[in-house]
Amino acid sequence: MSPTPRPNLSVPDIPGLTELSLLAVGGYATIFRARQESVGREVAVKVENFTLETERDRARFVREARATGRMSSHPHVVDLFDAGVTADKHPYLIMELCSGSYQDLMPLRPHVVRDIGVKIADALADAHERGIVHRDVKPANILVSLFGEPALADFGLAILAEQRDPHITLEVMTPAYAPPEAFRRHEPAPPGDVYALCATLYALLSGNPPRWQEKQPPGLLGLIELFAQPIPSVEGVPDGLVEILRMGMVNDPANRPTARALEELLVAVRLDEVPAQCDCQKSNDPGPPTVKVKPRGPIASFFQQLFGR
């Protein structure tokens, strides 16, 4: 395996895909929009910038990526349809095409954020039970499906990160949402995902990552020093919700709730008590929505595959 110094912007030749057009360019991958001819659907294709040089690396990537794809039966995980390696040795993932991310929509109302948190915590709990750590939960990786539902993207990143280096952490995480142990080069683990999800939900409420004072992000040293600061309340957000997020962002990973426990805390929190200093409830507010997690299991998965989410 060898890294590519800059994005490969050439349109890849991937069997079964046509009409490829550039969607986004990142430090580690290039994303294309395409049409999957066999089933007539639009998809997103993530092509990694590095290459897999040996047949063993390529076989391992495809095997592990397809194993990760079994998670896509979860209603709040972006579907991973297929994986492979291009003729010029770049690994790729074929995924569900979504309409955007929640990063472009924040800040959001507390009831909306709580609903997102319940669904994504359930997705992470399912992943952790399968032995998979996401590594990079952030607002940009919580996408809006074509049916308006939150869906966690980039589970394939865990597989691709292992291909780069089994000990890489910060290189595949976004520092603003990374837990403190990531800066100490600890092996990625489920508590890190919990921290990142709580930091993400806090940003969806406030418009900025936790402890962020300005739009301009601090340097690495300044970012590490932020972990010693308390996490402030958010104007107009019930204290109970912020306190749950604080629990998920304590510096000691052993003291954070599991993803399943976080889901339960978010379901139970009361959101009808808004701080008195903020008159942010509009008169036409329909009230708190019912928090629902879509059913899972073989029958649900069958209909999801047949008709889409």
Which active-site residues does the annotation give?
Answer: 135
How many angstroms separate the Cα of 254 from the Cα of each of 35, 242, 249, 258, 260? 45, 20, 11, 9, 15
Edge-to-edge, what's the strand order for the sheet holding 150-152?
Answer: 100-101, 142-144, 150-152
Q: What are phi and psi of 81, to 5 degrees?
A: -85, -35
Q: Which helix (H) or strand (E) holds 120?
A: helix 110-129
End-to-end CA distance of the chain: 36
Q: What are phi and psi of 127, to 5 degrees?
A: -65, -45
The 8-class DSSP code of residue 115 comes to H
Q: Is 213 exposed, middle or buried (0-12, 13-18, 19+ CB in 10 A)?
A: exposed
Distance between CA atoms of 58 and 81, rounded to whole angstroms?
18
